[in-house]
Structure 1
Amino acid sequence: MIKSILPDCVVAADVFADAPEPALFPEEELAIIHADDKRRKEFGTARVCAHDALRKLGMRPSPVLPGLRGEPQWPPGVVGSITHCAGYRGAVLGVASKVTTIGIDAEPNEPLVPGILDAISLPEERESLRKLAARHPRVHWDRLLFSAKESVYKAWFPLTKRWLDFEDVLINIDPVNGNFSAWLRVTGPRVRGQRITAFSGRWVVEAGLILTAIVVPSPGRSGPPRHGVQRPAGHGRFPQASVAPLR
């Protein structure tokens, strides 16, 4: 499912149900030895997806252990991202010579718990969401905003090893083409001499799920624009929606 919003320079593996007995490496089993059943299922099936994606890259699967902030630690030369929510687990990987960073997130197409939106959004984002919700009520745009910001953080952290607050990113959702832009409100990292000031991503709503993805190609390779993009007029005031790509 997530492959529909990814470029050809990455591989993906995703499933909609947990593996009954996921085959994990001993090191991975040790990482969840004290976890409850829910966490074990999330972790185990997501690692099965990660191992499958490594095979698709032509690599032998190896343990994918969580780092200090829970981020997956990939083999040398690999970049990637993992996500899981109720009814979905997925992993997207690329080789470091072709891809700089990846961030993906999956959420149910359901409204956020009351009070969460104010905590994760900026005033101009909330204004945009009201317009989107009025015209396209089948998409829970507050949840899509949350998902986009989660994907941004997952793409940001491997480059910086620093926290990124929700209010440090301004999201502009394009409901016509299924894109979104994420403008950094803090100084972004330099990658091979180029300063990253924004990320661009894709989104899809299907089968009761919201998926978002950011893939930053390595400098010099073709791919979607990711930084140095002209800022929208009004510095973050979003255009009104027309047609939402519900796939």
Structure 2
Amino acid sequence: MLASLLPDAAVAVEAFEDDPNAVLFPEEAALLARAVDKRRREFTTARICAHRALSGLGLPPVPILSGDRGAPHWPDGVVGSITHCAGYRAAAVALAGRLRTIGIDAEPNEPNPQGVTAQITVPAEEGWLATLTRTLPTVHWDRLLFSAKESVYKAWFPLAQRWLGFEDAALTIDPGTAATTATPARGTFTAKLLVTGPTLDGGELTGFDGHWLADRGLLLTAVTVPHLDGTPVPPAQAAP
């Protein structure tokens, strides 16, 4: 599922259940010393996905510790992102020479908890969000907006090294195949930064492009940024 949202330069590994026999590196296990069982299971499986993704790049698995604001600390020369929600864990990585950054997120295809949508929405998003919620109810667009903003933040932070609030980006989501009877539904989104972005290759980063998927009761979103002096890499084609 996730691989279909990412360019060929990225390696994605996902899991839909936890392996009770999975073993972390000691340094990773130490991060769970006080964790409850739920946190232990989701962290462990997501880290195993990350190890396997590194192997997919031809690199040896190494401990993936937590850096600033809890972001995964990847080996030198690697960019990546990790996500987990009920029934799903995943990691995506790429060589830093191929992509500048990756952000991924997974959420259940369910409405946002009460009060969340109002906290994450900016005025520019209210119109399309109301329209899609009314006309295409099979996708919970409020939760998809939340997921897309999470992916944007995960892609932003390694580049800017500073916080990006929900109110600091205005998103537009293309309904894609949700407008048809196609299953699964998939489409794209754009994010316009409402704050000053970092400078990349002599130009200011002003936004992000992403892809989304609704399938198996889940919402997945992904953002990648190619090197601005290279040719953008399109997402891989979904398997027939």
Please confirm whether the aligned pair reaches a TM-score higher than 0.5, indicating the same fold. Answer: yes
Counterpart of 1:69 in 2: which secondary structure? helix
> Shift of the alpha carbon at 1:22?
1.7
Write the letter of the residue equivalent to 2:113.
V
TM-score by length of 1: 0.89
Q: Quote the residue 1:228 is aligned against.
A: none
Q: Quote the residue 2:91 is aligned against.
A: 91
Counterpart CA distance in 2 for 1:112 and 1:159 is 28
Tell whether the 8 Å contact from 1:7 to 1:223 is kept in structure 2 after alignment.
no
Counterpart CA distance in 1 for 2:45 and 2:146 is 23
Q: Which has the higher contact order (CA 8 A, sep 6+)?
A: 2
> Shift of the alpha carbon at 1:176?
2.1
Counterpart CA distance in 2 for 1:28 and 1:22 is 12
Write the letter of the residue equivalent to 1:210.
L
1:189 is the counterpart of 2:202: no
Count residues in correspondence: 226
Q: Quote the residue 1:146 is aligned against.
A: 146
Counterpart CA distance in 1 for 2:92 and 2:217 is 20
Gapped regions of structure 2 (runs ≥ 5): 178-186, 235-239
Structure 1 segments (4+ residues) deviating >3 Å = none
Assess, with a 3 A threshold, how the Cα gap between structure 1 residues 131 and 224 changes in structure 2: closer, same or farther. farther
Write the letter of the residue equivalent to 1:98.
R
Tell whether the 8 Å contact from 1:24 to 1:44 is kept in structure 2 after alignment.
yes
Write the letter of the residue equivalent to 2:157.
F
Tell whether the 8 Å contact from 1:96 to 1:218 is kept in structure 2 after alignment.
no
Write the letter of the residue equivalent to 1:56.
G
Identity of paired residues, percent? 55
Q: Quote the residue 1:238 is aligned against.
A: none
Q: Quote the residue 1:204 is aligned against.
A: 213
TM-score by length of 2: 0.91
Counterpart CA distance in 2 for 1:111 and 1:158 is 29
> Shift of the alpha carbon at 1:224?
5.6
Write the letter of the residue equivalent to 1:184.
L
> Shift of the alpha carbon at 1:75?
0.3
Counterpart CA distance in 2 for 1:159 and 1:124 is 25
Tell whether the 8 Å contact from 2:201 to 2:229 is kept in structure 1 after alignment.
no
Q: Quote the residue 1:234 is aligned against.
A: none
Counterpart CA distance in 1 for 2:164 and 2:21 is 35
Deviations, residues 183-226 of structure 1 (Å, cap 9, x unaligned): 0000001122221101000000000000000011122222269x
Q: Quote the residue 1:221 is aligned against.
A: 230
Q: Quote the residue 2:59 is aligned against.
A: 59
Tell whether the 8 Å contact from 1:81 to 1:93 is kept in structure 2 after alignment.
yes
Q: Please identify which structure carries the higher helix content.
A: 2
> Shift of the alpha carbon at 1:161?
1.2
